[in-house]
Every structure is written in C-alpha cells, then in structure tokens.
Amino acid sequence: MPPPFSIVGVEYRGGERFLSVAPPGSTQLSQLNLIRPGDMVAGSNWQLNSLDDSRALFSINGSTRILPLRP
C-alpha cells in the first residue's frame, strides 16, 4: 500500500526533528504538515514511529513501513 502523502523533507525546529509531508499533487505551502514521532499523518492512519537521517518508520494497520528519505 503506497502512502497517502509525499515526503517533502526533514526540518529542525528548536533542536527537534520533524518530517514534512504533503498530500499527493499538492502545490501550496499551506498544504504541508510537520509531524514528529508519535504523530499521525492528517487524514490517514499512518503514524510516524521514528525518524533518522535516511528513513522514516511508520505504523499502519498493525504493519511497519520504512520509507526512505531523499538526500
């Protein structure tokens, strides 16, 4: 099952790492969402479990998915 969002990148705010995600086909900055481990992606049942320099680990419907981050 492909994710119902696109990964835009990783942002650092106040020393904390966030994953920036957007709905597929989004064209406006206002459509971006910042999530951190423990957060759900808005409008989905994808939960971010962990985030490192090369990948994001999600839980969805009892399964684990690892999504690579672009350099």
Nearest-Å Rg of the Cα atoms of the chain is 11
**Amino acid 1: pLDDT:** 79
Q: pLDDT per position in the chain (71 positions), as tens?
A: 789 999 999 999 999 999 999 998 898 999 999 999 999 999 999 999 999 989 999 999 999 999 999 86
User: In whole angstroms, what is the distance from residue 4 CA to residue 32 CA?
Assistant: 13
The domain segmentation of the chain, as residue ranges, is 6-68
CATH class of the region 6-68:
mainly beta
Strand partners, 40: 47
At 29, is the secondary structure helix, strand, or coil?
Answer: helix
**Amino acid 58: pLDDT:** 98
